[in-house]
Structure 1
Amino acid sequence: MPAPARDWLLRSQHPTQVERIEAYFCGHGFDPHRHDTYAIGRTLSGVQSFRYRQALRHSVPGGTLVLHPDELHDGHAGTDEGFRYRMIYVEPALIQQVLGGQPLPFIAGGLSDDPRLFAATSPFVRAMEQGFEPLEEDDALFDLAHALQAVAAPHRGRRVANYPAAERARAYINDCFAQAISLDDLALASGLDRWRLTRDFRLLYGTSPYRYVTLRRLACCRRLLRLGLSLADAAASAGFADQSHMTRQFAANWGQTPGRWLAMQT
């Protein structure tokens, strides 16, 4: 009998502004979790099934997956064949640099057959060994942001957000995520009152300031774990209370334990 298929994940080694992966899962992929980024990509083979916004969705080759920041989702194979896919993780701040403080585009249902999105994502879902020239990537991000905006469902009750102030708060978090941060700290850094900042931050970046802090710490942990640090040392360096706190947050936010995530890296 042939050996059973093994789950794997390949990460692009070319440094860019977005994270790019290719992965294969033969059955269960990951538990319910959220990202503070857009998760955008394509199913290359098989059926990629996932629960999103209280409905079971099925992604097949030929369409585009667009999961909004901070939306709960899981993932598993829809057939015995398993599924292979490529995905990019795009920080909302990169989209805001193009759109200039407009509400984040939302693609209803997380799936799209629109050819504009398919074309705009094509540069990002090339093979993992192919890199980007800096200007090429900036052009591709510009096209992607405008394609998302063109295809997205219209926003109701359009609100004006203070983008420069929210960006000051985001920059403060990026610099200080490993230490304790209060909403008062962010209000002082941004120049907005606490609740206006919370509202604008969610509108512009798709997640709350607290979850943005947590995901920055987890991203730091992943970098340190790939460098060979222990779970305990990575947790301490990233600002978590202890290893168990980091492990709980890792599983809750990314649908996998740190150990399983490390074992899948190729």
Structure 2
Amino acid sequence: MDQKNGQRANADWVIRSVQPGGAGVQSFHYAGSMRHGLPGNTLVLHPDELHDGMAGTDAGFRYRMAYVDPSLIQNVLGGEPLPFIAGGLSSDPRLFQASEAFVQAVDFSLETLEEQDALYDLAMALRAVGGSPRGRKRLDYRAAERARAFILEHLHTCITLEMLEHASGRERWSLSRDFRTLYGTSPYRFVTLRRLDRFRALVLEGFTLVDAALVAGFHDQSHMTRHFTRCYGVPPMRWLERLRAAR
């Protein structure tokens, strides 16, 4: 996530469900405007769209949130451009219902088949509520998926667009455009966010910051720290201290 005037952007879908019966309003800047989520609404933040979040009233607010890898939605859509929810906010009950399985999973883990069913329902709801998908109509999904798989297998190396071109069989600039349309973010940002995911997992396993940064694929600790701070708004040590304090 890059910060800009306090805003950040994820490489995954962010699904937030403002709980019925909850108090307050969830406000956030998104796509150039201030939005206000009310109980019963669903916030759907498209990958790489800048956003923030705050209480809209002094009463505060309650919500559940899930991060969904765009590739999981693509497994269902099979190469369609990612649906886009205008304004990042929906009152459509289809989307609210389809997102419930994921936002409630913090309390009840999903069985494999249950998760697969829920992914299908969510993809169909996003497609229905999002309307006509934006982006180019002619996309090479197979090539983009080969590039994504290559990235995940080679996070520890210095990945270049030339390498992705070779792995995918798709001309590099066409691949770059397709990747953005299908997964909502650029190849480089996808690489960086996946490395940060790996880094956080390693730190929680007991790796030092230096070792975790190198194993995750960063040049050194300072390289990782720059990206971590831009993404999450705090340096890794402060993130770790907050995590330990919350336990």
| 1:42 aligned partner | 17
Question: SS of the residue aligned with 2:35?
Answer: strand
Q: Is the 8 A contact 1:104 1:204 kept in 2?
A: yes
Q: Please give the TM-score of this superposition, normalised by the length of structure 2.
A: 0.90
Q: Which digits, 9 at most, give the CA deviation of each residue in 1:60-96, with x for residues without a partner?
A: 2210010001111112222333333211111111111
The CA distance in 1 between the partners of 2:80 and 2:73, in whole Å, is 9
Within the candidate set 132, 137, 144, 1:166 is matched to 144
Within the candidate set 200, 204, 207, 1:226 is matched to 204
| 1:76 aligned partner | 54
1:9-48 to 2 correspondences below 5 Å? 31-44=6-19, 45=22, 46-48=24-26
Q: Please give the TM-score of this superposition, normalised by the length of structure 1.
A: 0.84
Question: SS of the residue aligned with 1:171?
Answer: helix
Q: Is the 8 A contact 1:74 1:255 kept in 2?
A: no
Q: Which has the higher helix share?
A: 2
* Stretch deviating more after TM superposition (96-105 or 78-87): 78-87
| 1:251 aligned partner | 229
Within the candidate set 120, 129, 138, 2:98 is matched to 120
* Stretch deviating more after TM superposition (128-137 or 165-174): 128-137
| 1:57 aligned partner | 35
Structure of greater relative contact order (alpha carbons < 8 Å, 6+ residues apart): 1
Question: SS of the residue aligned with 1:250?
Answer: helix
The CA distance in 2 between the partners of 1:220 and 1:190, in whole Å, is 23
- 2:182 corresponds to 1:207: no
Deviation, 1:243, is: 1.9
* Stretch deviating more after TM superposition (33-42 or 138-147): 33-42
- 2:119 corresponds to 1:141: yes
* Stretch deviating more after TM superposition (168-177 or 41-50): 41-50
* Stretch deviating more after TM superposition (233-242 or 165-174): 233-242
Deviation, 1:53, is: 1.0
Q: CA RMSD in A?
A: 1.8
What is the number of equivalent residue pairs in this alignment?
237
Letter in structure 2 aligned against 1:34: A
The CA distance in 2 between the partners of 1:155 and 1:140, in whole Å, is 21
Q: Which digits, 9 at most, give the CA deviation of each residue in 1:184-215, with x for residues without a partner?
A: 10000000111111111111111111111001
Q: Is the 8 A contact 2:135 2:181 kept in 1?
A: no
Letter in structure 2 aligned against 1:101: G
Listed as ranges, the gaps of 5+ residues in structure 2 are: none
| 2:68 aligned partner | 90
Q: Is the 8 A contact 2:136 2:181 kept in 1?
A: no
Q: Is the 8 A contact 1:37 1:68 kept in 2?
A: yes
Deviation, 1:33, is: 1.5
Q: Which has the higher strand share?
A: 1
Letter in structure 1 aligned against 2:8: H
Letter in structure 1 aligned against 2:220: D
Within the candidate set 175, 194, 197, 2:175 is matched to 197
Letter in structure 2 aligned against 1:219: D
Q: Is the 8 A contact 1:42 1:85 kept in 2?
A: yes
The CA distance in 2 between the partners of 1:49 and 1:240, in whole Å, is 35
| 2:156 aligned partner | 178
Deviation, 1:43, is: 2.6
- Name segments (4+ residues, structure 1) moved above 6 Å: none
Deviation, 1:140, is: 0.5
Distance 1:157 1:170, change over 3 A: closer
Q: Is the 8 A contact 1:165 1:191 kept in 2?
A: yes
Identity %: 58
